[in-house]
Amino acid sequence: MKLTVIGSGYVGLVTGTCFAESGNEVTCVDIDQAKVDRLRAGEIPIYEPGLSDLVRRNTATGRLTFTTDLAEPAGQADVIFLAVGTPMSEDGSADLSALWAVADQLAPHVHPETIVITKSTVPVGTNQQLYGRLKQATGFHCRVASNPEFLKEGAAIADFTKPDRVVVGVRDEADAEVLRRLYSPFLRTDKPFLVMSPESAELTKYVANALLATKISFINQMANVCEAFEADINDVRRGIGHDSRIGFAFLFPGVGYGGSCFPKDVRALSTTFEQSGLQPRILEAVDWVNEQQKLVLQNKIEDYFEGRLEDRRIAVWGLAFKPRTDDIREAPALVLIRRLLQLGARVRVHDPEAMANVREEFGDQIEYGRDPMETLQDADALAIMTEWQEFQTPDLFEMQTRMAQPVIFDGRNLYDPKEMGNAGFFYHSIGRPTTSPELVS
């Protein structure tokens, strides 16, 4: 099948590459000439495990090409995926200006047989508006569909090629069959192909992310009450997670969620409620709790040093909003760094993949460690913000030797408090009692 993917960001690049890998002829279109040139040369502008090898292989075979010219690939495509950004507006709603601009540019080149599919995350009703816009511009009935993505950064290739489910929103069963054939190589283990209306498909994406965000905010708020009564949130988490109705997924306490999806999708769905005359009470609470949770670790640090952080050296491990990505959008680490700088602290950071992005944000205001241990040199405290694998089992003796003070603020609960106390650390985590060396027998 001949496919055109408009937008070569995270979703568009993964989508186009995986469809090329399954034997389709895919053209990815992007307005950024520099990005297109890099992709043609096999350079990937984002970090996503496994993606660079797939891009290079499919580019070499000719199944995957990149261009800034929309007209030719759009005119030849059987299916066109719209994967442009839909960022959050000032009022919390999704900004669809890029989507409408692409639709207007696309209209002169589509044929009645072409299926135009929204892959971007869009508010309910967008597909119907897209149909009306294309019909008005072309004068004929346009085939439009919705196919939301459910890709986790850091595991996107596996999520695309081995999906839990594929959701498509269509008006015509014939369009569903085209998409069923397109996705069939990835559904050989009988994972469900779910056909519904475009409105249901659009809401499915938002509702899924909102529910996952709700679980995160819920366990974080429970962690805070555990601290108030010296209970252990990990014990509580195990106590509820073995209930088959609840499970363990997304019930890990921390310093809040970030990234490009959960924050904007929760707020966009809240806006949808308000536009419908409904009150998004749960969604508002989820967002509020998350923003407060991003302050928890900085409050612990300020309390420990009694607010006197001027010229204190604070090391930060982890900058990306989650491991296996270089994405720092809405990352809790950035909130912490800004506050530490405001209080006059000297900040040195390390992250396996996100250093370049953070350097663009902070420049020379902070220092950049080549590795975790160098980052600790002469530090008065360590703050852990992202649960990268390489932080899981550090050399505790070397940490003690490097640091000016053995103080750790663990925002991801990576370590056992008793072990850290026995190793001589003042150890602060989320939803668990603080451990001091003298309190460990």
**346 φ/ψ sector (left φ>0, alpha ψ -120 to 50, else beta):** beta
Alpha-carbon span 6 to 220, nearest angstrom: 38
Question: Is 261 designated active site?
Answer: yes
Exposed (0-12), middle (13-18) or buried (19+): which is 408, by Cβ within 10 Å? buried
Q: What is the CB-side half-sphere exposure of residue 288 using CA atoms within 13 A? A: 7
Alpha-carbon span 301 to 420, nearest angstrom: 17
Active-site position among 18, 28, 142, 261: 261
**378 φ/ψ sector (left φ>0, alpha ψ -120 to 50, else beta):** left
The four Cα atoms 297, 300, 301, 307 give a dihedral, to 10 degrees, of 130
**Given the structure tokens 């396996």, which residue do they identify?**
352
Q: Which residues contact 6 (CB under 8 A, 6 or more apart)?
A: 12, 29, 30, 70, 74, 80, 81, 82, 83, 84, 102, 106
Q: Where are the beta strands (DSSP E) in 140-215?
A: 143-146, 166-169, 193-196
Shortest CA distance to 351 belongs to which of 391, 382, 400? 391
The catalytic residues are 261
